[in-house]
Amino acid sequence: MAIALATREGLADADDIRTTSPLAVRGLTVSYGQKPAIFSVDMTVVPGAMTAIIGPNGAGKSTLLKAALGLLKPLAGQTTIFGKPVAQCRDRIAYVPQRASVDWDFPTRVIDVVLMGLYRQLGLLGRVRAAHRSKAIACLARVGMEDFATRQIGQLSGGQQQRVFLARALAQDADLYLLDEPFAGVDAATEKAIISVLKSLRDAGKTVVAVHHDLSTVREYFDHVYLINTRLVAAGSVEDAFTEDNLQAAYGGRLAGTQMDQLNGTLG
Ligand SMILES: Nc1ncnc2c1ncn2[C@@H]1O[C@H](COP(=O)(O)OP(=O)(O)OP(=O)(O)O)[C@@H](O)[C@H]1O
């Protein structure tokens, strides 16, 4: 059966999209113990768009990203990146992990963190040349962090660290950007800087997928949304899928009155 999916330009046939989608998962099930953290999740990310993965705490959002990247072994299911196995497409993916999962005490300068994004271009034994440094500084400039290049990463604020990890992702020149809560714990200025960089990537034809918590900005920031709570609850364009019914189905009683008040006027 051919299903029509909304793209930024219009409707496209789902069978076509599945073979070219930047990220397609089928029946993905992952378990850390007895109970699955995600169960039989399907996802077909639309190219050249911004997609949010939302759901309550513990819903399996980070697990979905990690399993899709091949960082966790699923119990069942497959992932393809641009129609190919993940291992064949690593150089097309940039991943920005959740800030809380990174050891910020490692003694590395900001510029070296960004240069790590260039390691595929450098090769394992490749020498860092002036052109690589210039590129790393240009990526830092895109996130407003060029003046911090020689600072130790552990000496930066949380928001500044987040910007540096986005700069590393930019250095990779990827086609698919996967970000786990890029706005967690950042101030309004940093959030604005990050969303502007992500939208410029999208406008350049790149695909951005982010785990996102702030329901009040989903409409403003994203084109498509996946609501999950262990299982996939709903998916589609923000206009179609980001509805009160779907949010209640995903969050259940955890969507408190104040959150609903904040959402008033932003829901489809
Ligand atoms: N390394 C782990 N070992 C055991 N259980 C885990 C591990 N990582 C996650 N879990 C469990 O798997 C489930 C999904 O976790 P996950 O981090 O994917 O959720 P999430 O939706 O990203 O949550 P949050 O919004 O709180 O970041 C949770 O019940 C969590 O406790």
4, β-bridge pairs: 13
DSSP 104: T
CA of 233 relative to ligand 1 center, distance in Å = 17
Q: What mean pLDDT is predicted for residues 40-63?
A: 96
Domain boundaries, the chain: 4-102+173-251
Number of C-beta neighbours around residue 141 at 10 A: 13
Q: Alpha helix locations (H) across 95-254?
A: 110-116, 119-122, 130-142, 158-171, 188-203, 218-221, 238-241, 244-251
Q: Which CATH number fits domain 4-102+173-251: 3.40.50.1000, 1.25.40.10, 1.10.238.10, 3.40.50.300?
A: 3.40.50.300
> What is the tens place of the pLDDT at every residue in 10-49?
444 555 555 689 999 999 999 998 889 999 999 999 999 9
Give pLDDT, residue 2.
39
Ligand 1 in contact with 123 (CB < 6 A)?
no
193 in Cβ contact with 209 (< 8 Å): no
pTM across the whole model = 0.89
Instruction: State the DSSP code for 192.
Output: H
**H or E element, residue 21:** none
Q: How confident is the model at residue 172 (pLDDT cuts 50, 70, 90)?
A: very high
Minimal CA–CA distance to 210: which of 241, 177, 232, 253? 177
Burial class (CB in 10 A: 0-12, 13-18, 19+), 184: middle
Residue 8 has pLDDT above 80, yes or no: no
Cβ(107) – ligand 1 distance below 6 Å: no
pLDDT in tens, 202-237: 999 999 999 999 999 999 999 999 999 999 999 999
Indicate if ligand 1 lies below 6 Å from the C-beta of 55: yes
Q: 3-state DSSP call for residue 233?
A: strand
